[in-house]
Amino acid sequence: MVSPYAPIRDGIAAYALQTVRQLRRQGNEVDAVSPVPSAARYHLRLTGWRGPLALARMTPEYDRVIVQFHPDMFYPRGCLPAERVAVSLGLALALRRSRRSEVVVHEIDYNRLVAPLQRRAFRTFLDAAGTITVHTKTERARLARALGLPMSRIGVREHNADFEAGTHHDRSSARASLGIPSDAHVFLCIGFLQPHKGFDRALRAFAALRSAASRLYVVGSVRVDEPEYALHAAELRALAEATPGAELRNGYLTDELFDRWIVAADTVVLPYRLIWSSGVMGRAALLHRPVIASNVGGLRDQAPEGTVLVDSDAELLAAMRHAVGGDPGAALPAGPAAAAAPRFRAPAGATAEAILSLVRARASEIRQGSGLPDLGERAGRPSEDRLVALAPLQPPTAGRSGSRLRRDLKRAVARLTRWEIDPLVQHVNALHAAVLEALSGDRSGDSGHG
């Protein structure tokens, strides 16, 4: 099993662990290979072109090789097209040297398949697999179309096929252990705190819901230490603090605690902006909890019976309102802005700035019509919190990725351009400090006037 592996905090790691357990219950001996030290038997640095070659030395020793594929596991961030091609061909070699192989595709960056050479190399990798598996029919069709693969080459396996319940709590004991009101209708957003998860959408919808008998919990942690994710977590905290009945629980989740939260919930909310398939939806189905989810990726195919799929913030609010007080057998009520909006068309020859201005104006119209709070109406000054969380700008570093020659070249370029970069860094940091100082003075003035 080639995959991130427990105890790493990663959805694919949790997925792979449960598959390994199932294979072992069937009488198989299974070794796991992970890209970083973990509970796996072997650890290989799989990113870059050397990773697949190291893997190719191992694959002939096994009767079956299963690769849980995500591009971040093999392709270094910011790598050049030539290296992407080399990685794909190296993976093809590793699979061709195996007796039997399967690639479980969790995600693909289709933008990287536009260039013909990269597309052909990736197709060579998948052609080398005995079996290709995705989790939804939508993704099977999309993958086949992108690479020109026959549909018959791609199998569909339910995301939760090997899932098992990780907790013995019932709803009452789960709530008591988590400090959740026993009589509230509990909405739950759970998973890594990343912008594409859309948890901020659920917080804004809940603010517009204004239901004193309901609670919304956003539960999870930041997966990778990057400024974008840290800023998003700060925004979620500010939104939660400004929304009565909402709470952000930021922290590490064990498998048991993850399932305990789902058992404690009345409705699991998955307001994703972008997703392939959802392990959370699979766990909610396993634990018999209803779901409200965005109609994106392959979620429509994956959704269990009773799932409410939404296409807009207005529909999200309407679905949450229905979950709180509607008749379970009644049709989903239309929200204030549920009527079909006219298709957006930009004027011919419009500049990017003009199109962005039109999009913002249209979004404001939709938000006002839906009853959702506009960004400017949020209390607690989340934009200010984002500024405080924003670290001072640092000059770019050469990094340690790539060959020695590439690293030396990067360092030389950094030294030659330092005299141009440093004044820009100092100026941006001075602007940041000045804005924070001005905001601090503004707060003092507000408090002075009561």
Q: Per-residue confidence at 347, pLDDT binned at 50, 70, 90?
A: low
Within 10 Å of residue 52's Cβ, how many Cβ atoms?
26
The pLDDT of residue 340: 38
Q: Per-residue confidence at 443, pLDDT binned at 50, 70, 90?
A: very low
1 pLDDT higher than 90 = yes
Mean pLDDT within 71-87: 91
Mean pLDDT within 44-67: 95
The pLDDT of residue 422: 75
* 113 compared with 291, residue with greater pLDDT: 291
Task: Give the domains, in start order, of the chain with CATH numbers.
Answer: 11-156 (no CATH), 171-342+369-380 (3.40.50.2000), 392-448 (no CATH)
336 pLDDT higher than 50 = no
392 pLDDT higher than 50 = yes
367 pLDDT higher than 70 = no
The pLDDT of residue 449: 40
Q: Per-residue confidence at 407, pLDDT binned at 50, 70, 90?
A: confident
Averaged pLDDT score across all residues of the chain: 82
The pLDDT of residue 51: 94
Q: What percent of the chain has pLDDT over 90?
A: 48
Q: How would you classify the pairing of strands 214-220 and 246-250?
A: parallel
Mean pLDDT within 284-298: 91
Tell me the HSE value of 46 on the side-chain side, using a 13 A CA sphere.
Answer: 25
Mean pLDDT within 117-126: 95
The pLDDT of residue 145: 92
Q: What CA–CA distance (Å, rounded) separates 394 from 399?
A: 13
341 pLDDT higher than 60 = no
Give the per-residue SS3 of the chain: CECCCCCCCCHHHHHHHHHHHHHHHCCCCCCCEECCCCCCCEECCCCCCHHHHHHHCCHHHCCCEEEEECHHHHCCCCCCHHHHHHHHHHHHHHHHCCCCEEEEECCCCHHHHCCHHHHHHHHHHHHCCCEEEECCHHHHHHHHHHHCCCHHHEEECCCCCCCCCCCCCCHHHHHHHHCCCCCCEEEEEECCCCHHHCHHHHHHHHHHHCCCCEEEEEEECCCCCCHHHHHHHHHHHHHHHCCCCEEEEECCCCHHHHHHHHHHCCEEEECCCCCCCCHHHHHHHHCCCCEEEECCCCHHHHCCCCCEEECCHHHHHHHHHHHHHCCCCCCCCCCCCCCCCCCCCCCCCCCHHHHHHHHHHHHHHHHHHHCCCCHHHCCCCHHHHHHHHCCCCCCCCCCCCCCHHHHHHHHHHHHHHHHHHHHHHHHHHHHHHHHHHHHHHHHHHHHHCC
398 pLDDT higher than 90 = no
117 pLDDT higher than 90 = yes
Most confidently predicted of 33-37, 112-116, 401-405, 434-438: 33-37
The pLDDT of residue 399: 58
* 431 compared with 403, residue with greater pLDDT: 431
Q: In what order do the strands lie in the sheet with 154-156?
A: 65-69, 101-105, 131-134, 154-156
* 253 compared with 91, residue with greater pLDDT: 91
The pLDDT of residue 419: 74
Largest CA distance in the chain: 77
- What residue type is assigned to position 68 of the chain? Q
Mean pLDDT within 123-145: 93
The pLDDT of residue 435: 73
376 pLDDT higher than 80 = no
272 pLDDT higher than 90 = yes
By mean pLDDT, which of 169-173, 223-227, 348-352 is the weakest? 348-352
The pLDDT of residue 374: 46
Report CA 129 to chain centroid distance, whole Å. Answer: 26
Mean pLDDT within 187-198: 92
436 pLDDT higher than 80 = no
The pLDDT of residue 362: 60
16 pLDDT higher than 50 = yes
Structure-block tokens of residue 373: 């709070």
Within 10 Å of residue 67's Cβ, how many Cβ atoms?
26
